Amino acid sequence: MPMSPGYVPFHPNPSKPKFRPPPGAVDAHCHVFGPEAKFPFAPERKYTPCDAPKEKLFALRDFLGFDKNIIVQASCHSKDNRAMVDALDTANGRAKGVAFVGEEVTDTELKWMDKAGVRGVRFNFIKRLVDFTPRDVLDRISRRIEKLGWHVVVYFEMADLHELADFFTSLPTIVVVDHMGTPDVGKGVDSPENQRFHRLLDKHKNFWVKATCPERMTLAGPPYDDVAPFGRALVERFPDRVLWGTDWPHPNMKKVAPDDGVLVDYVPKIAPTAAQQKALLVDNPMRLYWS
Ligand code: 0GY
C-alpha cells in the first residue's frame, strides 16, 4: 500500500549527536513499522507509514550511542503485535516492548508476549489515531496485565486530561504518560493545565512520564528550546519516574522529519547534570523494564 498522502518518512541520514549518552542508555519510546511485505499494516489503521524495520532501528540505536530500545506498538499495526515481538525476539535481550491489545487477547498470547519481553500495554486516546474503546474494557485489560507485572502506557492530549484523570488514577498498575501529556507549549510551563498534570504526578506515585517528542509540540522548531522547560520541569520534579526516547520513525510529522541527532542533543537541555542523565536514560528505564 502506498504511504498516506503527505506522510513524511523518517530522516534518511541523521547527524551524529554531540551529546554522548551514558553507557547502557535506553531509547524508551520508538516503533517498528513492517516491513509491510512480512508484517502487513492493520486494516483499521488511520495512516499508512513507510516501512521502518527493526534493522534500521537497531542501526540507529548504535549510531546515536544508545544500548537498548523500548518498542511501542504503533496504531498502524493495531492489535497485531507480531512486528514488534519479532523485533524483541531478535534484539539479543536489548529491547523490551509495549503492546496494543483488545479484550479478546488470550492468556496464551499474553504469555507469548511476556516471554518476548513485553512489559506493558498502550491505551491510546488520540482520536485521529484510534477508535474509541470503552473504559470498562480498558479496566478489565489492565487487571489482566497487572497479574503479569506489566504497566499501562497512556497517550492523550492534555486538553482531554480533565475527563481522563479519574480513569487513569483508578488503574491498578504503573501508568506511564506518553510525550509529557502533550501540553500546549504556547500556553507555557506554568499554565493551569500543565500544573494540574504535575499535581497528578505529585499525588500519584505510580505515574511515570516520558519527556519525549519536543518535535511534535515545538512552535519554534529545532533545537526545540521552547519545549525544553517542559522537559526540564519533569526531570527536576520527578527524577526517578521520567523516561526519554527518540520516537523514531516519527509517525505523522506534519512537514519535516526530525533529525534524530538533534533530538539526542536535546537531552542535556532537559537533564543538564550527569546524575540526571543517568537516571533518565539508564536507571529509570532499567528499573521499569528490566527488573
Ligand atoms: C507516537 C505518536 C504518534 C503515533 C502513534 O501509535 C501510533 O500510531 O504513536 C502520533 O501520530 O502522534 O507516539 O509515536
Q: Can you give the pLDDT of all 291 residues of the chain as single tens digits?
A: 899 999 999 999 999 999 999 999 999 999 999 999 999 999 999 999 999 999 999 999 999 999 999 999 999 999 999 999 999 999 999 999 999 999 999 999 999 999 999 999 999 999 999 999 999 999 999 999 999 999 999 999 999 999 999 999 999 999 999 999 999 999 999 999 999 999 999 999 999 999 999 999 999 999 999 999 999 999 999 999 999 999 999 999 999 999 999 999 999 999 999 999 999 999 999 999 999
Residues with active-site annotation: 247
Instruction: For ligand 1, say whether the CB of 247 is within 6 Å of any of its atoms.
Output: yes
Residue 1 is predicted with a pLDDT of: 84
Residue with cell 503527505: 6
Please report the DSSP string for 170-195 in residue order: H-SS-EEEGGGG---GGG-TTSHHHH
Residue 101 is predicted with a pLDDT of: 98
Q: How far is the CA of 70 from the centre of ligand 1 (A)?
A: 14
Q: Whose CA is nearest to atom 5 of ligand 1?
A: 74
Nearest alpha-carbon partner for 155 in 238, 241, 86, 213: 213
Kindly tell me the sign of the dihedral angle through the C-alpha atoms of 197, 202, 207, 212. Answer: positive
Every domain of the chain and the residues it spans: 26-289
Closest ligand 1 atom to Cα of 74: 6
- Considering the segment(s) 26-289 as one domain, its CATH architecture is Alpha-Beta Barrel (3.20)
Instruction: For ligand 1, say whether the CB of 212 is within 6 Å of any of its atoms.
Output: no
Q: What stretches of 17-85 adopt beta strand conformation (E)?
A: 26-30, 68-72
Instruction: For ligand 1, say whether the CB of 251 is within 6 Å of any of its atoms.
Output: yes
Distance CA 17, CA 105 (A): 41
Q: Whose CA is nearest to atom 2 of ligand 1?
A: 251
**pTM (whole model) above 0.85:** yes
Residue 63 is predicted with a pLDDT of: 98
Beta carbons within 10 angstroms of residue 29's beta carbon:
25
Q: How far is the CA of 73 from the centre of ligand 1 (A)?
A: 9
